Structure 1
């Protein structure tokens, strides 16, 4: 599938999704890649048909900038986190709000579903990590330890643990069951802005220090230190097979890395603004990159 990445990017086309009236903070692709979510500083969430670009739902309810959005693994629900200190869970088909989760006391920067879809994780400026039961909206557990705001989070592919990145310059790996102690990954010299797990269990983290670090979360050992971005890292994503890692930043470019040797194998330039988001589609044949105020699909 990915034997020749250069050929893959040689036929790039662009599709635009432009309806928000504020900075676009996050986007998410549905598991079947039929829908796209975007959320913005305009306090709104938009649900789009990915192929046609048709706006299906203009979702309102948050009273502050919406910082992150994500689909549930089965594609039936989506969640959003906001500067208004709430997390909301919504139905995809109707865009009705099922739960408003209100235990955070400051802006909620990150939200993500567990791989089985039964739990939702949220975290933010109050330094709290809260695990919620999706069906009932009840709080399951609270995790503490970061010394500053938490900006990003990700579950491992088996759902047994999750990672969080913070303005305290650390990545922390937590056991969902709390049976195992947390692992603190140190080395970044700036705020940690994005984290992700590969299918093999590696953790990647990107930072305002312009670097990406790839770790073994069990031992805490650093596997790769990836340099090349010229500005803050904004987001990263592993391909489903774990062979590739894509990263984006404020330097208006997307970099593609080989996870077997840590080499950068492709640089996609020419983004119109600071590149804000990057996602592989579920089958791994599409990479979606988004800039502030618009979204661009790289085919």
Structure 2
């Protein structure tokens, strides 16, 4: 049925981007919404024109499946992480590799830029979370606390906190400057899949393979709401700008 999926979207406004030769693990829109970034098990990263669907760059460099990708806040750089244990920082305009970051010993599952774009967070199977200096590619700080692999990460809007979610079914909220653990959040019954801070930094949303969405108060670390997801697996969770709605996955709109 899905040998040529694009024909099923011919009469809709949906664009179908078809070039990867493996499972697509992550995608990201540039801050100005002009570019789309995708990464895949085929060890490639693709940079697309989001409006036309044309492929601008086919980026090679990783030696294994690429697990995560993201744009810097100003849109001039993007980062990627891979099963090859490396993190790479690339220039958007030319797709040249600026830095290859080699501090992890196993697969790196997640990368996140700080809100000011000066630092990059990475984490994965080796139980380590590393914060890097973007300009130099040097390690700024290493954080340990999870008992299993880290799958996802997110910074608060002001950069004063970041959160990490793990196979150990817990979330840790950190002080990035000191490395102190602010909260160790427990409640999910399966792996943590996604993390998202509200724009004001007061709430943290988490989703897990237990099909639950949890809302946490970042001032006291308490879970203030649990919502059962309508989706089999929630891959993305986004707050509306005013913080009263949350978009879960590709189709589910949840009222807070």
Residue 214 of structure 2 corresponds to 213
* Residues 1:55 and 2:60 are matched in the alignment: no
Asked if 1 retains the 8 angstrom alpha-carbon contact of 2:213 and 2:229, the reply is no
1:77 equivalent in alignment to 2:77: yes
Residues 69 and 111, structure 1, Cα contact 8 Å, conserved in 2: yes
On the 8 A contact 2:86/2:102 being kept in 1, the answer is yes
Distance 2:16 2:37 in 1: 13
Distance 2:85 2:113 in 1: 18
Give the equivalent residue in structure 1 for 2:235: 234
Aligned to 1:266: none
Q: CA deviation at 1:254?
A: 1.9
Distance 2:235 2:71 in 1: 20
Give the Cα–Cα distance (whole angstroms) in 1 for the partners of residues 149 and 139 of structure 2.
20
Alignment match, 1:92: 92
Corresponding residue of 2:126: 126
- Counterpart for residue 225 of structure 1: 226
Residue 230 of structure 1 and its aligned partner are, at CA, apart by 4.5
Matching of residue 255 in structure 1 with residue 238 in structure 2: no
Checking the alignment, whether the CA contact within 8 Å between 1:169 and 1:186 is kept in structure 2 is yes
Q: Distance in 2 between matches of 1:173 and 1:77?
A: 26
- Partner residue, 2:31: 31
CA RMSD of aligned residues (A): 1.5
Contact kept, 8 Å, 1:195 with 1:206, in 2: the verdict is: yes
CA distance in 2, matches of 1:102, 1:68: 16
Alignment partner, residue 8 of structure 1: none
Aligned length: 245
Unaligned 5+ runs, structure 2: 1-11
Distance 2:232 2:119 in 1: 34
- Retained in 2: the 8 A contact 1:211–1:229? no
The Cα shift of 1:257 comes to 1.8
Query: Deviation at 1:238?
Result: 1.9
Kept in 2, the 8 Å contact 1:206–1:236? The answer is yes
Note the alpha carbon deviations across 1:116-140, whole angstroms, 9 max, x for none: 0000000000010000000000000
TM-aligned CA deviation for residue 256 of structure 1: 1.2
Counterpart for residue 191 of structure 1: 191
Cα distance in structure 2, aligned partners of 1:161 and 1:95: 30
Which residue of the partner structure matches residue 200 of structure 1?
A: 200
Once the two structures are superposed, residues 30-56 of structure 1 have per-residue CA deviations (whole angstroms, 9 ceiling, x without a partner) of 011110000000000000000000100
Question: Which range moved further: 226-235 or 101-110?
Answer: 226-235
Q: Secondary structure at the match of 2:235?
A: strand
**Ranges in structure 1 where 5+ consecutive residues have no aligned partner:** 1-11, 263-299
Q: Give TM-score, length-normalised by structure 2.
A: 0.92
Q: CA 1:231 to 1:179, structure 2 compared with 1: closer, same or farther past 3 Å?
A: closer
C-alpha displacement of 1:240: 3.4
Cα contact 2:87–2:108 (8 A) shared by 1: yes
User: Taking CA–CA contacts closer than 8 Å with sequence separation of 6 or more, which of the two structures ends up with the larger relative contact order?
Assistant: 1
